[in-house]
Amino acid sequence: MLEAVNRRPGAVVLAVAGYFLLCIILRVSVSSSLEIDEAEQAFLSQFLALGYGPQPPFYNWLQYGLAEVIGTSLATMTILKNGLLFLCCLFYGLAARLVLTDRRLPPIAMLGVLTLPPIFLLAQRDLSHTVAALFAVSLFLYSFLKTLKRPSLFSYILTGVAVGIGLMAKYNFVLVPVAAIVAVLPERELRARILDWRILPAIAVATLIVLPHAYWMLQNFGFASGGTLNEMREREAEGFLLQAFYGVYSLGSAVIGGSLVPLLVFGLVFRGKFRAIWQAESQWSRIIGRMLALCLIAVLLVVLGVAATHVREKWLVLFLVLIPLYLCLKFEAANIDLTDSLRRFFLLVLVIVLGALVLVSARAVVRPWFGDYSRLNIPYAALAEAVAQAEGQPALILANDKQIAGNLRMQFSGAQVTMPSPSNALPVDMSKRPLLAVWHDDAQPEAPVPDLLRNALSALGIPDAAAAPRHLALPYLYGTGEDRYSFSYIWVAE
């Protein structure tokens, strides 16, 4: 790999593409059951809407488009996620090439992205909107740096596109372009780029992209903002000082957890040169360093402002992703000799990303050995097969949680799936038949029909006598012994 980088730095792009291809193959091979975000995407991808809930709709729009073109499937969802992650790394590498002179450093910056835990671990377990936002951050970084170095109308408009996509991917993305603008202002020769007239069409493009969802958000502000705020206030604390303590502690822990691995990797590779690296700086290292610091300061102010007591690593990865580029800029400013360091760096990254991928992929197979089952082991495919053999193909499916709804949407791609609750209901044709109402019964065959489903069936004019539940106890995928997962369902033919 070292020789390939020296001769052809683009070889790293192929290696990264191969890694994400391996991610796709392993995910599709291990289990057809869906994780939380996957099930939500399968459920929501039935319809195109201006908004779907507490997250912006960009990822949902992409998922809907792919579902319309090639159908709803695990492969579709996995290709989208890993494709966006690859584009994130690609544009990150292109951004690094704009500001790094040594051609060996941009591949290091690109591979450095893979050392962030939300990317090599969390994204391969279950992430969606954060993945889209990471792609937007890299696209923005590339277009923004290109505008600073070689400004053109196209680079300004591309920056506007990146900002619009970012705001449609994750609301906290807004901190990135704001921090970037503020970070450039102290640099006198670059300040004119911010005041250039071409920033107006960039703002117009970003506004046009955001406007439809912004209109929806104004109509549904409580629905759109409540989920995240409630999650940030996970811990109850009395008094501002105690809330501030929990919030600052949680933020600090998330920053350390999200940045520790890349810092350790770079530290181990370039050990013994900390003093020179710390003291060295360049114009571009100052700009990227300010961006990172301003983003984290802004998050701190938000945490204190909304009395948050819980911060998650994946919320910060949009800002922490700047770390590899910042470090590479510091290395170049310090004139560090890379000859003996590149091989160690590539080996460390290889061990981390492949080791994590093996662990994530193997959990569905290994955990059942110890009587521990995950969502990947729940036998949704067996449920769909049993229902299809006994009853036929449903046209309408009612479920009382998104996990069942999303999985059955994937298993019965020709059916419409809905959840009979105001916050999750989709505009489906409730007159469609046959109708399948299904739920998890906790292995209690005598348990009553959940109130949510009973009320929905009653509203459809289906009497209790016609709604006799049937029960299925199915073995877990990769399960051992006699362990079973129980479903109950109601079939209404007409």
Contacts of 246 (CB under 8 A, 6+ apart): 235, 237, 309, 310
Contacts of 206 (CB under 8 A, 6+ apart): 160, 161, 163, 164, 167
Looking up tokens 């770390």 gives: 323
Amino acid 229: pLDDT: 62
Total Cβ atoms within 10 A of residue 96: 26
Which tokens go with 324? 């590899």
pTM recorded for the entire structure: 0.93
Amino acid 238: pLDDT: 65
Q: Count Cβ atoms within 10 A of the Cβ of residue 434 and give its class: 0-12 exposed, 13-18 middle, 19 or more buried.
A: middle
Amino acid 191: pLDDT: 92
Q: Encode pLDDT of 428-475 as tens digits.
A: 888 888 999 999 887 665 667 888 888 888 888 887 655 678 899 999
Q: What are phi and psi of 203, to 5 degrees?
A: -65, -40
Encode the chain (494 residues) as per-residue pLDDT tens digits.
555 555 566 789 999 999 999 999 999 999 999 999 999 999 998 889 898 888 899 999 999 999 999 888 999 999 999 999 999 999 999 999 999 998 889 999 999 999 999 999 989 888 899 999 999 999 999 999 999 999 999 999 999 999 999 999 999 999 999 999 999 999 999 999 998 999 999 999 999 999 999 999 888 876 666 556 666 666 665 677 888 888 899 899 999 999 999 999 998 888 767 777 888 889 999 999 999 999 999 999 998 888 778 888 899 999 999 999 999 999 999 888 777 778 889 999 999 999 999 999 999 999 999 889 999 999 999 999 999 999 999 999 999 889 999 999 999 988 999 988 766 656 788 888 899 999 988 766 566 788 888 888 888 888 765 567 889 999 999 988 788 999 999 998 87
How many whole angstroms separate alpha carbon 457 and alpha carbon 247?
Answer: 44
Report CA-CA distances (Å) from 21 to 40, 78, 84, 127. 23, 10, 12, 17
List, edge to edge, every strand of the sheet that includes 470-475.
416-418, 396-399, 435-440, 484-492, 470-475
Q: Encode pLDDT of 285-315 as tens digits.
A: 999 999 999 999 999 999 888 877 888 889 9
* 3-state secondary structure labels for all residues of 117-171: HHHHHHHHHHCCHHHHHHHHHHHHHHHHHHHHHCCCHHHHHHHHHHHHHHHHHCH
Which tokens go with 475? 């073995």
**Strand 470-475 to 484-492 pairing:** antiparallel
